[in-house]
Every structure is written in structure tokens, then in C-alpha cells.
Amino acid sequence: MHAVDFQTLPPKPLMMQILDATSKIYVFLWDRKDETNTLRMTWKKLSKYFNKNRLKTGLRKLCDEGLLDYRETASGICVELVSLDDLE
């Protein structure tokens, strides 16, 4: 894995304009995770940000890439993001 100087990246608002839907889902989850890299949200709250089917498709893609694990419930989702240390 290469070291990245994040100070040299464009500002986040610009990056959000060029990211694809799956990348935007990952950034959304990353910004809202707790100290254990976990996020729990209701479908109602998530629907303010994403179409449910698009979100589920993005979650499956991210899971297939090994970036997260998730569990769906009747009321929402529980997501555990893989830590950066685990990716190496």
C-alpha cells in the first residue's frame, strides 16, 4: 500500500461531484461511523440520502470488495467498515 498525502487531494466537495454512486455511499458511511467502525441507521433516515435499492446494491459491491460487512434488519442496517489496518 502506498502512502498518500491527503493534503494534496482536491477539496471534499469537489471530490463528491466526481465520485460514482458506490464511492459516495462509502464516504457517507465512513463519515458517520463510530469509534468501532460501526454504523447503525434506520431505513427511514437512510431514505433521506439514498434510494433503498441503490444503497443495497452499493453495499453489496463494497462488501464484495472486502471494504465492509453489513446486516439488514426490518428497520434498517448495521454496517461494520474494515479498518485501514486490516486492508494491508
Answer whether residue 48 is part of any domain: yes
1 domain-assigned: no
Would 4 be classed as within a structural domain?
A: no
- Give the span between the Cα atoms of 3 and 42, in whole angstroms: 36
In a domain, 3, yes or no: no
Indicate whether 4 pLDDT > 70: no
Mean pLDDT, the chain, rounded, equals: 85
What residue numbers bound the domain in which 69 lies?
A: 10-87
The Cβ of residue 56 has, within 10 Å, a number of other Cβ atoms equal to: 15
Domain tally for the chain?
1
* Cα angle for residues 15, 18, 19 (degrees, 5° grid): 85
User: Looking at the predicted structure, is the pLDDT value of residue 82 above 50?
Assistant: yes
Q: Is residue 47 a part of any domain in this protein?
A: yes
Q: Is the pLDDT of residue 1 over 50?
A: no
Find the mean pLDDT for residues 49-68. Answer: 93
Indicate which CATH number applies to the domain containing 46: 1.10.10.10
Question: For residue 5, is it within any domain?
Answer: no
